[in-house]
Amino acid sequence: MEHHPRPRHRRLRALAAATGALVLPAALAFGQPAAAQDEGTVVYAADFADGTIGDWAPRGPVTLAVEDGALLTTGRTADWNGPALDLTGLIAPGGVYEIALDVRFATGSAGEVVSATVQREAGGETAYDSVVYQAAASTDWTTLAGEYSIAATADALTLYVESPTPDASYAIDNVQITELSPPGVDPSIPSLKDVLADDFPFGAAVDPRDLSGPNSELLNKHFNQITAENHMKVEAIQPTEGTFTFDAADELVAHAEANGMAVYGHTFLWHSQTPDWWFTYPAGHPSAGEPLGSSAEDQQIMLDRLEAHIGAIAEHYGDRVFAWDVVNEVISDNAAEVYRNSRWFQIFEGPEYISHAFRIAREQLDAVGATEVKLFINDYGTDNPAKRDNLYNLVADMLADGVPVDGVGHQTHISLNTPLENIESSIDKFAGLGVLQAVTELDVAIGAPVEGVEFPEYEARIVQQGHYYRDLFAMLREKDLVSVTAWGLHDGRSWLRGFNGTRPLESPLPFDDDLQAKWAYWGIVDPSRLPEIPEEPDPEYARVQVPRAKDAPVIDGEKDKTWKKAATVATEVRVEGSEDGAKADVSLMWDEDAIYALFEVTDPSLDESSANPWEEDSVEVFLNPGNTKEGGYGEADGQYRVSFTNVVTLGGNGPEAGAITSAAVTTSTGYRVEIAIALADGQGEVGAEHGLDLQVNDATDGVRTAAHTWYDPTGQSWSTNKNWGIAELVEKVKNDNGNGGGGGGKLPVTGTGLTVGVVSAAALAIGGAMLIMRRRRAANWGE
């Protein structure tokens, strides 16, 4: 079809405020469409004058035909049926577009209103963005128009025209999409790769979506190294045994080579994003398709597969990829153990597979002449002293055994509360082993809440982030690093945005959704430009009075009578996933020896199929004795997780964290978990205050689908004590009349005026005066 510029008809525009504009995690559709104008660049136009439907396709079982020079839709049976147009190649992140079209109902057809909507697919999630929502229409031509923009590249964009009247028939004509404000990268600012040229290469995690348009401009200007975000992982390279797919990875490598960039490979071996076939018996085996056991034969199957996989990659890329993460994330997050209890670990009944992987990688790369390619072990949380030491000991042991480990990758997924001294201490410690080191997956979370929660601290957090990046890079530039890689090009492409689609304002990278430099960028490039961090008011943390137990409860999962006088709070703050996810009423008591918690969890479906304990149905207690709130985890701080089957895992616990005793039983409505956490001398006394938070994780089919806390809305409780509530130990709870109170009800929050468990993120304000006006999502009934 020929694409003709749309004639500017002087017809009445359906542009009332009721057209409904949206603000979504990765898209902005503006509620005040522009007046008729001749400015801008037309990127698509169709008037159906050639008598064909052209690029349009039916959405649902409808009939599309051109009649009287317009596209007529008939045969609709549902409100979402209608004509659809693929916009994927037309709309670029950061640009502002007017989408306009003429519409009228067919003579004799039912129907009063029409909507124009864009279906957006990104990162496995689907969203529906209203361009014009239920605008009045009739059998006379009406022009619909609205502005539309996306902040991040989408996997697919589809424009469609619909009516809430299922059997309505209607025609559209003179469709035109005009780029009003082109996307772009600021060419005038210094390139990060040049600013850091004397220190280390600066990379970004990318995928093929980032190789064209404005994303590509940003990548080429500021970065001189790339990592494949997903397309060099096992499931991408070898989705079925013996079938290797390099197309997407080849695009990345070709782009890097054409633009003078190095390529860092990620990854040969990982417990995640590995296809299920890898852990089952192969075709032709008597137990084909069944899970592998741990016999020597089964282990050899795994090693043969690893050799074939790495060998194929080595043969394909040789030394075009200068370094590889040979193994990724093999150290456990559970402070009570060393190694992640993955299928690899289970089949080999220990960590020997890690050394095997390095030896195989070296052999296969050397065999194709890629003798200088460097081999890394990569993990997150290396700023945590316990996890750092476990990784250090593993690397030291492998080096002593002659295993060819060249380097250590520190992922560095951190937050504003991560102590920089912890990151520096880890780099310094590994330097003593003489290995290469790299920061491989850097981002700095600002602690944004889930969608729908106001975040007036946003601007202040962005300033604070600039200061954090300043201090972080000042330290990194003093170290001997192979490279530093940001995990994503800009905020709109961050995995933290797409993590269950719940944190639309999380902004962890140096460039914003519009690909413009943030204070984080200037913290690296020119710290003198940073404004002062707004003065922080004293936060008003949620507080609960926890009464002394008359008798210590028996930790058996049963609610004995001593719990009748406990305080009770609820986990009502959504930090991830579905609002309808599992929650709990949590009873709290203490005595000189311990603090006690009893979770009554409502969860009709229980799941523990994931290899990651936080992705199983479980509860968590976060305890900061003394309520120090210094950030990170202190010497006595602990994260205690207990599953519905009473499997206990520990997080970044300090060496003085108290021991846990627990019991769990299933109930008719979910499960109950009873916990005692030991208190040190002096911690269990009237008047003592302890930082506290409580969390319930909800899992389905091996994935965490929701998480709810008592107070902390940031989702960062696992990494910092800064945002937890406060437990005040009292003899007995006082009610509003000063009388003894106790069990049963939800207690008031002292000092905040909010009900415990229903807490605004504003309680964590660090900026106070700066506000963001967030548009609310309009109703959208598209399929």
d(CA 400, CA 358): 14
Nearest Cα residue to 765 out of 420, 469, 414, 449: 449
Residue 371 tokens, joined: 């003798």
Q: Is 736 a catalytic residue?
A: no
Q: The tokens 């960590």 sit on which residue?
A: 351
Q: Note whether 653 and 389 are within 8 A (CB).
A: no
d(CA 263, CA 201): 11
Backbone angles phi, psi at 404, to 5 degrees: -80, 70
Q: The tokens 């009349």 sit on which residue?
A: 737
Helix (H, G, I), strand (E, B) or coil at 208: helix
Nearest Cα residue to 586 out of 709, 729, 758: 709
Buried b (16+ CB within 10 A) or exposed e, 282-317: beeeeeeeeebeeeeebbebbbebbbbbbbbbbebb
Q: Note whether 603 and 705 are within 8 A (CB).
A: no
Buried b (16+ CB within 10 A) or exposed e, 620-638: bbbbbbbbbbebbbbebbb
d(CA 306, CA 313): 11
Q: Which amino acid is at 520?
A: A
Catalytic residue (choose from 129, 179, 207, 379):
379
| Secondary element (H or E) of residue 466 | helix 458-476
Catalytic residue (choose from 329, 406, 576, 603):
329
Integer angstrom CA distances of residue 96 from 17, 106, 118, 151: 19, 32, 14, 10
Q: Is 441 a catalytic residue?
A: yes
- 3-state secondary structure string across 609-670: CCCCHHHCCEEEEEEEECCCCCCCCCCCCEEEEEECCCCEEECCCCCCCCCEEEEEEEECCE
Q: Is 329 a catalytic residue?
A: yes
Q: What is the dihedral of CA 341, 342, 345, 347, to 10 degrees?
A: 120
Catalytic residue (choose from 79, 441, 514, 607):
441
- Report DSSP state, residue 91: -
Burial tier of 746 (Cβ tally within 10 Å: 0-12, 13-18, 19+): middle
Torsion sign across C-alpha atoms 677, 683, 686, 687: negative
Looking at the annotation, which residues are catalytic?
329, 379, 441
